[in-house]
Chains A and B, each alone.
Chain A
Amino acid sequence: MTSSAPALPPRLAELIEEFAELEGADKLALLLELSDELPELPDGMEPADMEQVPECQTPLYVTVDASDPASVRLHFQAPAEAPTTRGFAAILHQGLDGESREAVLAVPEDFSAQLGLAQTVSPLRLRGLSAMLTRIKRQLRATPVVG
């Protein structure tokens, strides 16, 4: 990374560090832990109202609430049979929920490479994570900034 690259949001940077310190099966164990921790949707929010991410081979829905540009809220929904997808969603949720619009938009598209998961998870599967970030950014850009 060059010094001119914007710093990653702190919790995302922490997660990347945690993954980087682990090897093989332990990386998977951390991903499973994150997957278990992905919060349920808030009451009243349904997958039908959310955007689907078809690059993930299992159904994943994402919604971005950018009404407060200083604190963007992210919501994800993925079934229990798709723990890898849930784990990816949890990385973005724990790493980016509550961050500012600018901070989320500044996350590099290829940040997932820094997790070092390509060997344990496979590069193809990791594309799902990049696709989720792409969707989040598109939704953010589509939300007009008021004031």
Chain B
Amino acid sequence: MTVAPERNERFAAYAHPERLVSTDWLAEHLGDPGLVVLESDEDVLLYETGHVPGAVKVDWHTELNDPVTRDYVDGGGFAALMSAKGISRDTTVVIYGDKSNWWAAYALWVFTLFGHEDVRLLDGGRAAWQAEGRELTRDRTPVTPSDYPVVERDDTAVRAYKDEVLGAIGRIPMIDVRSPAEYTGERTHMPDYPEEGALRGGHIPAAASVPWARAAAEDGRFKGRAELSAIYHDEAGLTPEGEVIAYCRIGERSSHTWFVLTHLLGHTSVKNYDGSWTEWGNAVRAPIATGTEPGSL
């Protein structure tokens, strides 16, 4: 059973307003049958410090990723995970998280790989809920395991692999959503300072720099459609019907951008390159451009 989408003036202009819920809507619908609220954070302990009443935690490191191969769980793994969270195939899932919803968007994108129909983001994420002084609790959320079918993961529509990205240079627009210092390659590491990351700095040749944060307003909520269109269409030159590949460091910030392009601006062919810079910047002979210009092959 699914829950009817929120009808909210603020979301009406977006291509798929049903993909967002407001904090007001969530507060009113907590406990609705057919709704499961998931918290997905960068910090693995943040949920435990206090979460939205009735919310269940999902962790990207330990639950969405395969424990051995650098990949996501498979159909069986996802079905088991969903069952443990009390989610059925027709459940409405609302995801929220820390860091302007990076990990919430990431989880939503992984749900998309398995074709889970009704999955939405809480606009503004955990920070918005907290800023409004809404209730957070440390109470354990009881979960009744559900039946979830084994659905084969389909990476073809929204996920790009390294070889595909290599072949796309100069052919398909790419956006690098990391910070400007990561894009230019000036951020390097120092002795004894082991950074999580890559041996080489810079960006994929021809990729344009559009930091993810430009899509977020100061309060962490998404900017309005006109503002988003000015950034991604007028400035970056993307078109809603054209293909585009987004990447960042490990695919979390680019999931945020993927959500903006796909669900708020209605792009029909957006892929997230989740291998991102931790793969590209370590790959032997992968072409790299440095500096502020996109460059070419």
CB within 8 Å of B: which residues of A? Answer: 28-29, 31-32, 35, 54-55, 57-58, 80-85, 87, 119-122, 124-125, 127, 130-131, 134, 138
Contact = CB atoms under 8 A, between A and B. Distances in A.
Secondary structure at chain B's binding surface: helix, strand, loop or mixed?
A: loop
Contact of A80 (B42, B44, B48, B49): B49
B44 A55 contact: no
Given A81-B98, A122-B62, A32 B48 contact: yes
A119 B44 contact: no
A81 B44 contact: no
Contacts of A28: 44-45, 48
A84 B42 CA distance: 10
Interface string B52-87: 000000000110000000000000000000000000
A122 B64 CA distance: 12
A83 B42 CA distance: 11
A32 B195 contact: no
A81 B44 CA distance: 11
Interface string B91-123: 000000010000000000000000000000000
B46 interface: yes
Contact of B43 (A54, A81, A130, A138): A81
Nearest to A131: B194
A-B complex: 7 closest residue pairs judged by Cβ atoms: A122-B61, A83-B45, A84-B45, A32-B48, A84-B43, A83-B49, A84-B44
Nearest to A80: B49
A32 B196 contact: no
B45 A55 contact: no
Nearest to B42: A57
Given A28-B45, A54-B195, A131-B194, 13 more contacts: A32-B48, A35-B49, A54-B193, A55-B196, A57-B42, A80-B49, A82-B46, A83-B45, A83-B46, A121-B61, A124-B196, A127-B196, A138-B192
Contacts, number: 57
B interface, size bucket = 10 to 19
A121 to B, nearest CB: 5
B195 A58 contact: no
A110 to B, nearest CB: 12
A55 B49 contact: no
A82 B193 CA distance: 20
Interface string B167-202: 000000000000000000000000011111000000
Contact of A124 (B45, B46, B48, B61): B61
Nearest to A34: B45
